[in-house]
Every structure is written in structure tokens, then in C-alpha cells.
Structure 1
């Protein structure tokens, strides 16, 4: 499991003084970077070397999160397929979960415009961060 600390910005907060729905998606995206690096460990995470595409994202807002206190994002793997995998994430503030979600990522060849199998070595690295979400 990866843990990333996010400090909510003033602009991440909505009129009800809660973390905005869009802020959660942005925080979760930022916290996926360690997983992205498994696919390009020696290169910058840039468009010329990108190997992944998002196929689905879903978020459940289960509690309130506020400005002024750090949020810890837990990022882990819940499913590994042939060419895709599912990332689970949770946002915690002051010991309480504020959001959770899952994202399906596909290993993708942008030149050939098709998915491709995840190399065995990367699958093994993904397995190190597997958490049974059931």
C-alpha cells in the first residue's frame, strides 16, 4: 500500500466548507503516481513515455473533509488482469475516512492504439501492493 499526504488548498473547499468532489479526484490522481512509476521507473512521467490509460473511475463520498488538516490517501491494488488492473483508494482525515474509490487502468500502446499485456515483472510489483477489498 502506498500512502500520500495531501494538504487541502483553500480552493479545494466548497461553499459548505467541505472538500469539493473534484478535489478528491485530483488528490487520488496525485496519489496514483507511485503506481504509474512501476511502468516507467527510469523515465519522467511525461506524455512521450506514458503507457497507461484510465478506463473507469468511481468515487464514494462517505464523510466530511475540511480545510486546515492534512489528508492521507491510501492507494493499493484490488485486481490484476491481463492488460488492466484496478486501483483502490481511500482518503483519511483525523482518523476518519472521507472518501473511497476505484480506478481501472489499462496498459496501453498509444502508437498501435490498443491495450497490451502487463509484463510479468510489473504484475509482480503490483501484487506487492494488493489488498483484498472484499
Structure 2
């Protein structure tokens, strides 16, 4: 088990006064990089290693405090060219989030995965842990359906490989989700907005990466649609695409819970269901 202490920044907070759900993925990245830099696999960061997908399960808000959050991580699965990292983020001894990241060594010149070297495999194998799998979040492919939300890539969104950083995709998914839900139902405005009487809590968020996304001046497009409406929760699907040729870059699935200002779950309500049902994709 590898442990990392991740300092918080005031700018990590969102409108609800807690660390933003997308920023949590950045904490995972900091812990993962520190882990890789701690041993012989450090070279993978320089030659090329990509994130194939993330699963993040949020258990409680992370508050801003001077102390760091603690992140424990280990290798939960190991294949020929596939590494799954499992994390537990804690604050004050309580679990704030559980997560999984699938990594793949990658040759950017030839645009293909490469197998782990015996040295790297030995390093990862020495950090094996046993954890329970996170349940999958099923969602259909949108195939061009859903509300189109423009997504602009900023130059600062790029990472050391010259592509949009994996953690930044969670910002894009969030931007599309907030734009879509408040258009469908203005009462889904976030806490603190005029007329808002409830919170919308992200309890689970997964992103699968399909293609590398580069910077350009023209906007890309996020397609977003509800795919399931529950009692107090809903599942939204988001696909990031190139509107010019339909190239798919990433798929995201987000589970939102409706809650009162005290944080307790509230029924979605007939009005919200009626407004969202016409946009359901099954």
C-alpha cells in the first residue's frame, strides 16, 4: 500500500463550499504520479502512460482545512499492458471517496499500447492489494442523441503529452451536465442560485477515454442526456465528440442525488421527472 498526503487549495472549492467533484480526480492524479515516481516505473511517465478510464465513488464532501487529505493506493489488477489502481481518499479518518483508474503504457509515436517490462511488472506486483470491484454504471451509447453543449479546450488543459489531461475531462462533463440540467429544469440550479431549494450531489462518476483530445480554437461538443430516473437520483450520460466528423473522445456517466439543504435525499418530484422524461435516452 502506497500512501500520499495531498494538500488542498482554496481554489479547489465549488459553490457549495466543498472540494469540487472534478478536483477529486486531480487529487488521484497527484497520488498516482507520486506513486510512479517512487520506483523504477517512473520512466513510464516520461515515455508514455495513458489513462483508459476512471471510476469514482463519492462518500462524503471534502472540506477545506489546512491539513492534507490522505490517499491510500495500490494495484488491484495487473495485466500485460494494463494496470488498475485502487484508491481510498480520507479526511479526518473518514472515507471521502473510493476510486479506480485503469492505466496503459503507450507508444505515442506508433499510437499503440506497449507491454510492461519485467522491471515495471515487478514494481507493480509488489504493490498488489485486494479490493472489491465498484459496481458498473450501465448507460447506452448516445449515438448523436442528447443535448449538444459546446466545450472549449483551453491551452492550460493540456498535459505533458500535449493532449487534454484526463482529469480535465471531468470538468467538461460537469460543464455539460450543469448547462443541460438547468436548461431542462431551471429549478435544478445549484445551491446559492436564485430559486434553488436543494442540492444536487454527485455520488458516482465514471469516464472512459476513447481518443486523445487536442487543443483547437473551435469548440468541441458534449452530448448529454438522462438515461435513468430513480426515486431521488438520476443517471446522466455524456459523450465528448468532434461535431465536424463525429469522432468520439470520451464517455462519461454521472449519478446525481437530489438532496435538501441539510444533505438528506429528496424525491426528484413530479415536475422534474416530467421535464426530464422527454430527454431520456434508453
Give the TM-score band, short-chain normalised. 0.7 to 0.9
Report the alpha carbon displacement of residue 5 of structure 1 after superposing the two structures with TM: 0.7
Greater alpha carbon shift after TM alignment, 30-39 vs 63-72: 30-39
Contact 1:39–1:51 (8 Å) recurs in 2: no
Q: CA RMSD in A?
A: 1.8
Q: Which residue does 1:128 correspond to in 2?
A: 278
CA distance in 2, matches of 1:58, 1:47: 27
Distance 1:115 1:39, change over 3 A: farther
Offset at residue 55 of structure 1 (A): 0.7
Normalising by structure 2, report the TM-score: 0.43
Change (3 A) 1:22 1:63: same
Q: For residues 15 and 70 of structure 1, what CA distance do their matches in structure 2 show?
A: 22
TM-score, structure 1 normalization:
0.87
1:3 alignment partner in structure 2: 148
Distance 2:186 2:207 in 1: 24
1:86 and 1:104 in contact (8 A); partners too: yes
Using the TM superposition, give the Cα deviation of residue 18 of structure 1 relative to its aligned residue in structure 2, in angstroms.
1.3
Partner of residue 28, structure 1: 173
Partner of 2:207: 59
User: Counterparts of 1:62-101 in structure 2 under 5 Å?
Assistant: 62-68=210-216, 69-93=218-242, 94-101=245-252
Question: 2:266 aligned to 90, 99, 116, which one?
Answer: 116
Mapped pair 1:102 → 2:250: no
1:31-46 equivalent positions in 2, closer than 5 A: 31-33=176-178, 34-36=180-182, 38=185, 40=187, 45-46=190-191
CA positional deviation for 1:36: 3.8
Q: Which has the larger radius of gyration?
A: 2
Matched pairs, number: 129
Q: Distance in 1 between matches of 2:278 and 2:254?
A: 18
Secondary structure, counterpart of 1:87 in structure 2 = strand
Where do 5+ consecutive residues of structure 1 fail to align? none
Tell me, what secondary structure is at the counterpart of 1:27?
helix
Bigger RCO of structures 1 and 2 (CA < 8 A, at least 6 apart): 1
- Runs of 4 or more, structure 1, over 6 Å off, are none
